[in-house]
């Protein structure tokens, strides 16, 4: 999408927001920034991507996310600073299981928005959507056991470690451990941040 194409104005009072960020649907125009993140070792690499992604591949993937959003199987958001609509990261709920009331969270922030609270704030917004809007009971994720920043961020929003998935991820030819974490609706309520 070029800058000339119409796009929704930045809402004054976004439906999904944290203290510093808001969430809007991931759009085709986000794909260049999305790919830049995926292909960065400190961004996509930390989020588990091991194969470089092309813009064409990302665009095809984005088409599939639209189908999932329509069917309610997944919800894919761009994270933006409040008052701006540029992509600074992405966060999703995928594998949405309505029967058992659970879904998997994924997130990465771009290289300029790591380590200063933007991603933690985005998680608060996504949890409010998952628990508050979708009515989920459990939101879970997996994370490499050496991703201390991400684990700390997840713990700050209330995720608890459930266990170690031993030798579940191959990194540089070596099988390594990952951590299974989750937050339940009651835990979210007790850690919920006020929002306007």
Ligand X SMILES: CC(C)(COP(=O)(O)OP(=O)(O)OC[C@H]1O[C@@H](n2cnc3c(N)ncnc32)[C@H](O)[C@@H]1OP(=O)(O)O)[C@@H](O)C(=O)NCCC(=O)NCCS
Q: In what order do the strands lie in the sheet with 89-97?
A: 21-25, 75-81, 89-97, 102-109, 138-144, 174-184, 160-171
Min dist. Cβ of residue 95 to ligand X (A): 15
Site for ligand X in 14-53 (CB under 6 A): 43, 46-47
Q: How far apart are CA 90 and CA 70, in angstroms?
A: 18
Binding mask 46-85 for ligand X (x = CB under 6 A): xx--------------------------------------
Min dist. Cβ of residue 80 to ligand X (A): 14
Q: Is residue 153 close enough to count as binding ligand X by CB under 6 A?
A: yes
Task: Assess contact for 93 and 119: CB atoms under 8 A.
Answer: no
The residue behind tokens 């994270």 is 79
Nearest CA-CA partner of 188 in 142, 146, 156? 156
Min dist. Cβ of residue 100 to ligand X (A): 22
Contacts of 72 (CB under 8 A, 6+ apart): 96, 98
Cβ neighbours, 10 Å, residue 78: 23
Q: Is residue 93 close enough to count as binding ligand X by CB under 6 A?
A: no
Window contacting ligand X (CB under 6 A); options: 28-36, 72-80, 101-109, 181-189: 101-109
Min dist. Cβ of residue 70 to ligand X (A): 26
Min dist. Cβ of residue 99 to ligand X (A): 25
> Using CB under 6 A, which of 108, 131, 159, 188 touches ligand X?
108
Cβ neighbours, 10 Å, residue 36: 16
Site for ligand X in 114-143 (CB under 6 A): 114-120, 143
**Interacting residues toward ligand X by CB under 6 A:** 43, 46-47, 107-109, 114-120, 143, 147-150, 152-153
């Amino acid at each position: 999408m070029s800058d000339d194409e119409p796009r929704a104005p930045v809402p004054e009072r976004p439906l999904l927001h944290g203290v510093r960020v808001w969430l809007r649907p991931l759009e085709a125009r986000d794909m260049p920034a999305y790919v830049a993140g995926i292909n960065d070792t400190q961004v996509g690499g930390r989020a588990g991507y091991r194969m470089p992604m092309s813009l064409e591949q990302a665009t095809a993937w984005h088409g599939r996310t639209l189908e999932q959003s329509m069917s309610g199987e997944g919800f894919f958001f761009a994270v933006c600073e409040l008052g701006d609509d540029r992509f600074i990261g992405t966060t999703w709920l995928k594998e949405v299981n309505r029967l058992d009331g659970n879904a998997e969270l994924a997130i990465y922030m771009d290289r300029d928005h790591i380590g200063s609270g933007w991603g933690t704030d985005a998680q608060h917004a996504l949890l409010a959507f998952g628990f508050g809007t979708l009515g989920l009971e459990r939101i879970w994720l997996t994370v490499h056991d050496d991703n201390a920043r991400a684990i700390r961020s997840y713990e700050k929003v209330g995720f608890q470690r459930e266990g170690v998935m031993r030798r579940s991820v191959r990194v540089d030819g070596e099988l390594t451990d990952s951590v299974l974490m989750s937050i339940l609706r009651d835990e979210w309520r007790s850690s919920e941040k006020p929002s306007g």
